[in-house]
Amino acid sequence: MIAAYLSKLAGALAFDPALAARVVIEAREHLTDAAAEDACVDRDEAERRAVARFGDPRDLAAEFAAVALARQAWRVGVVIVLAILVALAMMKARLAWYALVQWTIADDARAVASVVLFVNRYAFWLAVLIGLGSLFHVGRRTAPARLHAGYRSHLRRATLLFSAATLALAVSVAGDLILMALRVKLTPDSIVPIASVAVEIGSVAFLIVMIARASRLMARTAGALGV
Amino acid sequence: MEGEMLKGHLDMIVLAALAPGPAHGYAIIEEIRRRTGKAFDLPEGTIYPALHRLQQAGLLSSRWVTSETGRRRRVYTLTRSGTRALADRRAVWQQFSDAVHALLDGKRSGKPA
């Protein structure tokens, strides 16, 4: 009886395998204790009563879903802010390197560089603004007791903000890439600016994967629970 | 007591049940039953989403503990923020409870509206 119930519970929580694994262990221990402490002599009956008192797996899944999605959204928000800080650190390191090796932009490329720099700068600050805004948006509302349409809309808005911040950061990183290409000379020293831009591109790629994963989790959860 | 009414206060109930010390889910349910004289009738599984939610909010911490018999249990502990949150919620609840009592008993609190 308990095993069948745990299987249903794991199925209802399939939208988040890590959460399902943890909850199934907690539920198994709970149900084992509850059945063991039941005064009823019939073991099957004791297990049936323990399972009945535990609640409907689908209802529990809806309550866990809100917590799981809120946690995922908060993680994405934090990673966005970290990616922005990484990009800033890489930009500063690159500029320091250029000053050290005295690499400048050729005169005929200065007009292009100034346009790219303008876009780059504003895209970066837009990413900072939207990134912090997305974190504030996610943090200002705690997970409700149960996933409902209103909270799903709140998370959908968060995903939009995450995507906008990532897009702005991607534009800024693309600007960094162009500015580096205008300045870099193909010598062994160029590994430093190339590596720093590679780190920025990696951060943005990681962010895109995280946002896609969070969106899939939200869609899967909402679909499974009919929210 | 009505399930929906209870759910609205579940976080405070769980925090209060953990005030004496760390406990796993089943022990928390038992503590709630013991201290309320089995007045609360809530699906027992409901406690786990609440525990996860409170942990996410930083009001609880948790860790796996393996007993001598090899059973793994997740043990929850109030954090400092959790202790503070419980004190705040207790104060709000006390104020609310006093006001409802006064209303039901037909007394006036003497405070301006």
> Could you write out the DSSP letters of every residue in B19-67?
TTS-EEHHHHHHHHHHHHTT-----GGGHHHHHHHHHHTTSEEEEEEE-
pLDDT for the residue B12: 92
Confidence of residue B72 (pLDDT cuts 50, 70, 90): confident
Residues A111 and A67 in one domain: yes
Which domain-ending residue is among A40, A55, A70?
Answer: A55
Question: Structure tokens of A96?
Answer: 């320091």
A172 and A105 fall within a common domain: yes
Q: Decide if A71 and B56 are in contact by the 8 Å CB cutoff.
A: yes
Higher pLDDT, A186 or A5: A5
pLDDT at A98: 87
Cβ distance B20 to B14 under 8 Å? no
Integer Cα distance of A156 and A225 in angstroms: 16
Residues 6+ apart with CB under 8 A from A225: A58, A61, A62, A65, A147
* For residue B4, pLDDT beyond 80: no
b/e burial code for range B47-77 (CB count within 10 A of at least 16 → b): bbbbbbbbbbbebbebeeeeeeeeeebbebe
Hey, which of A7-21, A75-89, B32-46 has the most confident mean pLDDT?
A: A75-89
Amino acid A190: pLDDT:
85
Nearest by CB: A54 against B43, B53, B74: B43
Residue B6 scores a pLDDT above 90? no
Q: What mean pLDDT is reported for chain A? A: 90
Chain B neighbors of A221, CB-CB under 8 A: none
Least confident of A212-216, B61-65, B68-72: B68-72
Q: Looking at CA atoms only, how far is residue B37 from chain A in angstroms?
A: 17
Query: What CATH number does residue A97 fall under?
Result: 1.20.120
Q: Is the pLDDT of residue B113 over 70?
A: no
* Containing structural domain, residue A48: 2-55
Q: Is the pLDDT of residue B3 over 70?
A: no
pTM of the model: 0.74
Nearest to A54 among B24, B44, B50 (CB): B44
Average pLDDT of every residue of chain B: 87
Q: Are residues A75 and A123 in the same domain?
A: yes
Pairing status of strand B72-78 against strand B23-24? antiparallel
Q: Collect all residues of chain B within an 8 Å Cβ-Cβ radius of residue A30.
A: 25-26, 29, 44-45, 48
Does residue A100 share a domain with residue A16? no
Looking at residue A162, its pLDDT comes to 96
The arithmetic mean of pLDDT across residues A135-160, rounded, is 88
CA–CA distance, A30 with A10 (Å, rounded to integer): 15
Mean pLDDT on A21-50:
89
Do both A82 and A14 map to the same domain? no
Say if the Cβ atoms of B53 and A145 lie within 8 Å. Answer: yes
Residues 6+ away with beta carbon under 8 Å from B2: none
A166 and A109, same structural domain? yes
State the nearest Cα–Cα gap between A63 and chain B, in angstroms: 6
Q: What is the pLDDT of residues B17-32, one digit of tens each?
A: 999 999 999 999 999 9
**Residues A158-187: what's their mean pLDDT?**
93
Which pLDDT belongs to residue A131?
95
Search chain B and give the residue with CA nearest A53.
Answer: B43
A55 contacts B43? CB cut-off 8 A: yes
CA atoms in the 13 A half-sphere facing the CB of A67: 24
Predicted local confidence at residue A207, as pLDDT: 94
Residues A105 and A36 both lie in one domain: no
Do A39 and A99 reside in the same domain of the chain? no
Whether chain A has a CB inside 8 Å of the CB on B48: the answer is yes
* B72 close to A (CB below 8 A): yes
Both A136 and A92 in one domain: the answer is yes
Return d(Cα B50, Cα B63) in angstroms, integer. 16
Task: State the CB neighbour count (10 A cutoff) for residue A198.
Answer: 13
Q: What is the number of domains present in chain A?
A: 2
CA distance A189 to A103: 11
Please indicate, yes or no, whether residues A48 and A64 belong to a single structural domain of this protein. no
A27 interface with B at CB cutoff 8 Å: yes
> Which has more confidence, B108 or B19?
B19
Tell whether A78 and A185 lie within a shared domain: yes
The predicted complex's ipTM stands at 0.81
Q: How many CB atoms lie within 10 A of CB A196?
A: 21
Do A20 and A67 fall into the same domain? Answer: no
| Chain B residues inside the 8 Å CB shell of A60 | 43, 45-46, 48-49
Confidence band, pLDDT 50/70/90 cuts, at residue A183: confident
Is the pLDDT assigned to residue A48 strictly greater than 60?
A: yes
Closest CA to A126 of A177, A155, A178, A161: A161
In this structure, whether the domain defined by B3-105 belongs to CATH 3.10.450.40 is answered with no
Would you give the DSSP letter of residue A165? H
Asked whether residue A114 carries a pLDDT value surpassing 70, the answer given is yes
Task: Please check the confidence at residue B67 and state whether its pLDDT lies above 90.
Answer: no
Residue B7 pLDDT: 66
Q: What is the C-alpha separation between B39 and B36, in angstroms, rounded?
A: 5
Q: How many CB pairs under 8 A join A and B?
A: 68
Residues A145, B50: C-beta atoms closer than 8 Å: yes
